[in-house]
């Protein structure tokens, strides 16, 4: 808003050649990856995250930027990485080849060393054609791609790293999959973009969210959003659609067909289901959707318009909850993770990577197990301003209608807000209304969190210490060699 058997370079080349020649694409097996978002006040150390990825045999990860801490931690892991260029950089990169050279140097080349990061894609923008952006990024995309491609060529990386553009599903529209077409104002730029992708062997990346269709439309049939069968199937000529994912996917296939590139590989950049913050967002629904999606994709049955050929890769959204994200779309925005903020699996999920169910993060360093709650002896007549302050600074979306903490009562709501604030700031004063307790105040499904200790600085110190030790050893060897020479 996001495994299996990796596609070899040889297969990728065959796909590109077949697409160029206009033939049919052979069946390929999909791979499962994850989106690693970092908009959180409770971030695990990147090294802990990489260990978590390894333990779960996740071999593909998508970043929304080029976070240096994440990329340093990924170096030497072998995990395939997609780094991102944020939308606010597109204007600069589109107008300046020097800026593109600098971006590639600082965010890609420095990590592409022996034993470095395995960067495979650069995502140029994130859903830059989203209708809510009003076209403000539209004109920058292709010039930015042109400059970045030239920069990759200068850095001798153009053969190893592919440029892509993650698109939201609102880039195309139709009442039936077979009639899919890109929005009229996007026809020319999409023609240019897909031609570029095809000529460079890059896939088309799309984000598909059946949850958002259900959330935004009260008439949307709930069972059609999942993969368990539906009484609301969609008939489109000879084809019948039993889930929204396949219908959306084939709408894109039709739109690409209309541009003459119907066989270009497709990657799902984001797909998932949130676990809190809205009436249709809960743990059970997320488990059913994500497991159904994984089973469906890895079956390689494909879709009616691409039988036997599913998406090349699927990146689940997301790896963790991000409690500092904007809630403008809805409170659910902070609850997409298959893991909670501390790397603990929210539900039983098999990623189909030969590893069984999700494994939790290890050696997580928590803050002291203390909670801030409202003092039961205090009058709450003046608590509203404190409640608003706490929920402005911290995350209270679990208290939303349909949320996991919605039914814990007034004092429970206030305590939840106070504790969320406390885990960020370690302050439980609230003009004397708050008190620290050693007793966990969690109630049923409503969990009062304990934050994780900040470890990024520790990692930097560790890296610096290693470099220092390395330099000492080098100088000792030099002096030893000098001494031997003198003898």
Positions marked active-site: 127, 270
Whether omega before 360 lies within 30 degrees of 0, making that bond cis, reads: no
Q: Is 171 helix (H, G, I), strand (E, B) or coil?
A: helix
Structure tokens at 366: 């928590």
What is the phi-psi region of residue 340: left when phi exceeds 0, alpha when psi lies from -120 to 50, beta otherwise? beta
Sign of CA dihedral 418, 423, 428, 430: negative
Would you give the DSSP letter of residue 429? -
Radius of gyration for the alpha carbons in the chain, expressed in angstroms and rounded: 25
**What are the strands, taking DSSP E only, across 234-319?**
234-236, 239-241, 266-271, 302-303, 306-307, 313-316
Would you give the DSSP letter of residue 86? -
User: Whole-angstrom Cα distance, residue 416 to residue 119?
Assistant: 41
Question: What is the residue whose two structure tokens read 């009562």?
Answer: 409
Strands 266-271 vs 172-173: parallel, antiparallel or unpaired:
unpaired
Query: What b/e string do you get for 80-109 counting C-beta neighbours within 10 Å, with b at 16 or more?
Result: bbbbbbebebbbbbbeebebbbebbeebbb
Query: In sequence order, what are the residues at sequence separation of 6 or more whose Cβ sits closer than 8 angstroms to the Cβ of residue 424?
Result: 41, 393, 394, 451
Residue 449's Cα: distance from chain center in Å? 22
CA distances from 416 to 55, 246, 320, 394 (A): 33, 40, 21, 10
User: Whole-angstrom Cα distance, residue 87 to residue 355?
Assistant: 36
CA angle 187, 190, 196 (to 5 degrees): 145
User: Whole-angstrom Cα distance, residue 68 to residue 242?
Assistant: 42
């Amino acid at each position: 808003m996001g495994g299996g058997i990796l596609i070899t370079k040889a297969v990728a080349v065959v796909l590109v050649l077949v697409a160029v020649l206009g033939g049919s694409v052979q069946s390929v097996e999909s791979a499962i990856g994850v989106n690693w978002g970092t908009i959180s006040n409770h971030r695990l150390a990147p090294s802990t995250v990489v260990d978590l990825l390894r333990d779960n045999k996740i071999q593909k990860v998508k970043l929304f930027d080029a976070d240096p801490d994440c990329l340093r931690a990924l170096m030497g892991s072998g995990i395939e990485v997609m780094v991102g260029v944020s939308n606010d950089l597109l204007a600069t990169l589109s107008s300046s080849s020097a800026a593109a050279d600098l971006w590639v140097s600082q965010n890609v080349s420095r990590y592409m060393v022996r034993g470095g990061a395995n960067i495979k894609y650069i995502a140029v923008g994130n859903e830059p054609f989203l209708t809510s952006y009003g076209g403000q990024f539209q004109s920058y995309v292709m010039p930015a791609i042109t400059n970045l491609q030239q920069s990759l060529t200068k850095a001798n990386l153009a053969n190893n790293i592919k440029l892509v553009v993650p698109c939201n599903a609102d880039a195309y529209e139709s009442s039936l999959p077979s009639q899919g077409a890109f929005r009229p104002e996007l026809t020319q730029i999409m023609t240019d973009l897909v031609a570029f992708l095809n000529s460079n062997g890059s896939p088309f990346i799309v984000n598909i969210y059946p949850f958002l269709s259900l959330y935004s439309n009260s008439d949307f049939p709930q069972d059609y959003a999942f993969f368990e069968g539906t009484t609301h199937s969609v008939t489109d000529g000879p084809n019948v659609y039993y889930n929204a994912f396949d219908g959306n996917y084939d709408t894109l296939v039709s739109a690409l067909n209309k541009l003459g590139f119907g066989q270009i590989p497709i990657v799902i950049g984001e797909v998932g289901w949130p676990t809190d913050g809205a009436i249709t967002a809960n743990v059970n629904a997320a488990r059913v959707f994500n497991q159904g999606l994984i089973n469906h994709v890895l079956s390689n049955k494909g879709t009616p318009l691409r039988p036997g050929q599913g998406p090349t890769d699927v990146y689940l959204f997301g790896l963790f909850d991000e409690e500092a994200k904007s809630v403008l779309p809805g409170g659910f925005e902070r609850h997409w993770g298959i893991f909670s903020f501390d790397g603990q699996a929210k539900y039983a999920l098999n990623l189909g990577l030969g590893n069984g169910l999700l494994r939790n993060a290890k050696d997580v360093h928590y803050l002291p197990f203390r909670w801030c709650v409202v003092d039961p002896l205090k009058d709450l007549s003046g608590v509203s301003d404190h409640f608003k302050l706490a929920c402005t600074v911290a995350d209270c979306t679990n208290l939303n209608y349909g949320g996991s903490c919605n039914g814990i009562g007034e004092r429970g709501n206030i305590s939840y807000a106070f504790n969320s604030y406390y885990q960020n700031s370690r302050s439980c004063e609230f003009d004397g209304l708050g008190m620290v307790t050693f007793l966990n105040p969690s109630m049923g499904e409503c969990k009062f969190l304990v934050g994780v200790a900040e470890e990024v600085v520790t990692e930097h110190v560790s890296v610096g210490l290693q470099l220092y030790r390395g330099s000492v050893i080098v100088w000792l060897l030099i002096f030893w060699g000098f001494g031997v020479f003198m003898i």
